[in-house]
Amino acid sequence: MKKSKILKIVRKLFLITFGAIITGFALGSFLSPNDIIDGGVIGVSMILSNVFKLNLGLLIMILNLPFILMAWKKMGTRFVLLTGYANIVLALATNYFHDIHATNDLLLATVFGGIILGVGVGTILKSEASLDGTEMLSLIVSRRFGFSVGEFILFINVFIYAVAGLVFGWESAMYSVLTYFIGSKVIDSVMEGFNSSKSVRIISEKSAQIGEELIEKLDISVTYLEGVGGYSGLNKELIYCVISRIELPKMLDLVKEIDPKAFVSVVDVHEVYGGSFRKR
């Protein structure tokens, strides 16, 4: 058990280090040299660094420190320590890459900077740490004042990009918004996984026959659930299963052959653990 825990911690530290380094690469080599900013505390740090000619890596670490300490009670000691470590590595990486300019093309800097930034931040978030104090602050503010986390972060970022427009110019601010959009989509992909599966619910009068065919022909594990029709009040048997995207068309064809009137609900599933499910 101790060995397993040590390996888990080492793995997290490795991923956090990797995430912080490539985030620093995105900031130092793509975004900062082209006056393109990220949102949140990092964005504020980039604006202040440009206006007052201060060290960007050091600014990010200093501005994040109050939020890290603020999160101590809410998020726990482990989160604070991992987040503090991530910010130290980010500061060092940003300063190291600051004089290594990858491109002067604004569109390339926006797209590739956003992608690399998203991979780095997503890796760190998945490792139970954070690089931006805005998210930590949003958890506290949302409970105290009734805002949702998303609404608070959106409000803060709109203000930051408005200031960026005044400092860097509105064209740069628009590129910054595009970077944030690309980065957020990449973060979602990293957090949720690229190989999303499908959760399927089937309601049919021939549920037993459909279930048998799914097991025999597609080798899909199914679960039968009991339900009651809202209008009819009659008992109904539902089929629940999780399948890969490749198997979905075959499964739908099979269901239609047996019962063209069957009701089928399909939902994206990003993480699947345990059971007899296999990713094909």
pLDDT tens-digit map of 201-214:
999 889 999 999 88
* Residue pair 56/46 in contact by the 8 Å Cβ criterion: yes
Q: Which two tokens stand for residue 66?
A: 């109050």
Same domain, 232 and 161: no
Predicted structure pTM score: 0.74
Total domains present in the chain:
2
Query: Does residue 279 surpass a pLDDT of 60?
Result: no
CATH at residue 243: 3.30.70.120
Q: How many CA atoms lie within 13 A of 219 on its CB side?
A: 6
**If you search the block for the tokens 């956090």, which residue do you land on?**
16
Query: Does residue 135 surpass a pLDDT of 80?
Result: no
Share of the chain above pLDDT 70, in %: 89
Mean of pLDDT over the chain? 85
What pLDDT does 86 receive? 93
- How does pLDDT run across 70-93, given as a tens digit for each residue? 878 777 788 889 999 999 999 999
Same domain, 150 and 263: no
- Give kind and range of the element (H or E) at residue 101: none
- Give kind and range of the element (H or E) at residue 203: strand 197-203
Chosen domain end from 146, 165, 192: 192
Chosen domain end from 143, 166, 192: 192
Same domain, 203 and 187: no
Q: Which two tokens stand for residue 74?
A: 């809410």
280: in domain: no
φ, ψ dihedrals at 182, nearest 5°: -60, -45
pLDDT band for 275, please (50, 70, 90 cuts).
low
Query: Does residue 140 surpass a pLDDT of 90?
Result: no
* Residue pair 50/65 in contact by the 8 Å Cβ criterion: no
Same domain, 29 and 135: yes
φ, ψ dihedrals at 203, nearest 5°: -115, 120
275: in domain: no
Q: Which two tokens stand for residue 59?
A: 């600014």
Nearest residue to 60 (alpha-carbon basis) of 30, 36, 93, 82: 93
